[in-house]
Structure 1
Amino acid sequence: MTALPLPAPDGDGASVSRLPAGREAANVMLGEYLRQCREERGLKQSDIAVSIRASVSKISRLERGESPPKPRDVMDLARFMRLSSKETRHMQGLLDQTQNGAWYQQFSDVLPDYLKRLVALEDSAEVITAYENQVVPGLLQTREYARSLVLTVRRTESEIERATDLRMQRQRILRQRKPRVTALIDEGVLRRPRGGRAVMREQMEYLLKVSTMNRVNVRIVEFGEGADVTPPYAITQLTFAHEGPSDLVYVEHVNGADYITNRAAVDQYLNNLHNLHTAAASREKSRDLICEAIERYS
């Protein structure tokens, strides 16, 4: 049976379109990690509030990423909860991100609010698994293919170029040590000529090239194999190091997105991704299908 979108559980999976304006992704990441560390130690918000002479409401806002964190407060909380040296270093790294401007801030005028958290988290992920049923995953797009998508939502030439630049900048993580990327792509994406035949041929050639990278696994979900397991929406899962934030699932909608961290809901989405991975063609067969697409667009 085709999977249907799962509702975001109250409190743990929030629709970004409903988040307060100005809520920074770095603050959210730090707050999530603080909450995770507190809960792992069986502590309540009231238990840790006394360590920084704060109210429970202040701790709540800090964990939700709704107020800028003060470095002294954060490190006092780390000491009070007796974080390990490894956990403390990770906490300090997240804190540094809240204090310094991130690379994507220069694109704030063309970066949708609902996408900011995903872009910020991609750098920290160990593994990214993405299923796409409409377009080539953003991390694997060529410039001209990306531009053809931007043209559908942006109007001025300046906006188009900056939004395209943003998409290209996201791909910087492919040149880093991590993350590993698995792209599960519906076969229909290969047959949908976005941008025209020349653009599609270049995109398919690039997809074939990146599929040979050690850290990139491209798998095509064929029409005849994935009909019973393909959901009608794209899913992205981010897996972090053990001392990092909890696993997160990103489900994008027309005018927003859901970020799912609730364990039960995450597990259901991971089951979807597992079924898709099982149904997908092998790496070798997937490359054959991409080669066939290249020939079609010649």
Structure 2
Amino acid sequence: MPALPDPLPDPVAPVVPLGQDPGRAAADRLLGQELRRCREARGLTLRQVAPVIRGSVSKISRLERGESPPRPRDVRALAAFYEVDAQQMRVIERLLEHAQDAEWYEQFSDVTPGFLKRLIQLEGDAEEICVYENLVVPGILQTRAYARHMVRAVMPSAEPEEVDRVVELRAERQLRLMDGPLPRVVALLEESILHRRCGDAQVMHEQLKHLLHAGDTDKVSIRILKMSREWGVTPPYPITHLKFSNGEQSELAYVEHINGANYVTKPRALDDYRNALSNLRNAAASKDESIDLILKAQHRFGDRTAS
């Protein structure tokens, strides 16, 4: 087995530097262009459509040039007025989603460290996310109750309102990642995670049920690394690997530690992380075996099918 990468490689700049958002600007422009095409196809002027959103001609013009943040209500009102067909509406909704995604987490900026903002930005653009966890269920697969106990454990002095906001951030992040065919998610979990109590038995039972439900979809693949295996040393820290469908940077690895995170894009270091995750995939239990392991762990926390 190849040697595992050093725990804390030299940090490198993320693919999308925080504070610069070319993806958001491009999405705004594309959405504006699509709205302009729809308007012009109907032979309508800016002055004629401005009343639809109770705005001015300049507001419509800025929206079509991508210079104003698009409001979902305005975009949908214009699309309805233009009587776009179902296919055009899907295009508009997707562009609107892209234009909104880069900013949605800013409402949680007071409880979101900069390194996590970068990860959330990148996750939204990824084609595949492979995450290895050795201690807890990954954040993108946690239930609210499980997340709440996790947050309380790592933020013991936090006020209840702050805990609520962190939990809401995790829930919103998961909802957005699971909506749509991409990104695909591969979760490689140490078996001990299934038995390590976080909260009471009810919390664990629901969390394991959630894993089973997620793994039963085409979007998520959950593989368990059995405690009984004898194949080598596992990484002592979580690893997240992101693949992108295009662009100059097609992949990166993300390694979080106590005071920050490293974004790895240097080819040699990236090879090490990719190989480590490939070895973990090969060593993990099959889909059916993984389901059985989760079911056994769930049974350990009691039968709550009636709840």
Q: Bigger CA drift: 167-176 or 284-293? A: 167-176
The DSSP-based 3-state class of the residue aligned with 1:284 is helix
Closer, same or farther: CA 140–166 of 1 in aligned 2, 3 Å = same
Q: Who is 1:107 aligned against?
A: 108
Q: Who is 2:165 aligned against?
A: 162
The DSSP-based 3-state class of the residue aligned with 1:217 is strand
Question: Does the CA contact (< 8 Å) of 2:194 and 2:294 recur in 1?
Answer: yes
Question: Does the CA contact (< 8 Å) of 1:143 and 1:168 recur in 2?
Answer: yes
Question: Does the CA contact (< 8 Å) of 1:130 and 1:182 recur in 2?
Answer: yes
Q: Who is 1:142 aligned against?
A: 143
Q: CA deviation at 1:26?
A: 3.2
Selected match of 1:265 from 257, 265, 269:
269
Runs of 4+, deviation exceeding 4 Å = 27-30
Closer, same or farther: CA 278–144 of 1 in aligned 2, 3 Å = same
- CA deviation vs aligned residue, 1:53-85 (integer Å, no higher than 9, x gap): xxxxxxxxxxxxxxxxxx99xxxxxxxxxxxxx
Q: CA deviation at 1:243?
A: 3.2
* 1:188 paired to 2:189: no
Q: Who is 1:26 aligned against?
A: 21
Of structures 1 and 2, the one scoring higher in RCO (CA 8 A, sep 6+) is 1
CA distance in 1, matches of 2:101, 2:277: 35
- CA deviation vs aligned residue, 1:70-122 (integer Å, no higher than 9, x gap): x99xxxxxxxxxxxxxxxxxxxx9xx86x996100000001112211001111
Question: Does the CA contact (< 8 Å) of 1:229 and 1:276 recur in 2?
Answer: no
Which aligned pairs between 1:80-99 and structure 2 lie closer than 5 A? none
Selected match of 1:286 from 287, 290, 303:
290
Question: Does the CA contact (< 8 Å) of 1:4 and 1:232 recur in 2?
Answer: no
Closer, same or farther: CA 262–4 of 1 in aligned 2, 3 Å = closer
CA distance in 1, matches of 2:163, 2:106: 17
CA distance in 1, matches of 2:23, 2:118: 8
Report % sequence identity.
43
Unaligned residue ranges in structure 1 (runs of 5+):
16-21, 31-70, 73-92
Q: TM-score, normalised by structure 2?
A: 0.68
CA distance in 1, matches of 2:229, 2:24: 37
Closer, same or farther: CA 198–25 of 1 in aligned 2, 3 Å = farther
Q: CA deviation at 1:5?
A: 2.7
Q: CA deviation at 1:137?
A: 1.0
Unaligned residue ranges in structure 2 (runs of 5+):
26-65, 68-94, 303-307
Closer, same or farther: CA 112–258 of 1 in aligned 2, 3 Å = same
Closer, same or farther: CA 118–100 of 1 in aligned 2, 3 Å = closer
Aligned letter for 1:26?
D
Q: TM-score, normalised by structure 1?
A: 0.70
Q: Aligned residue pairs: how many?
A: 228
Closer, same or farther: CA 247–149 of 1 in aligned 2, 3 Å = same
CA distance in 2, matches of 1:180, 1:107: 25
Which aligned pairs between 1:53-132 and structure 2 lie closer than 5 A? 102-132=103-133
CA distance in 1, matches of 2:291, 2:101: 41
Q: Bigger CA drift: 204-213 or 244-253? A: 244-253
Q: CA deviation at 1:197?
A: 1.2
The DSSP-based 3-state class of the residue aligned with 2:21 is helix
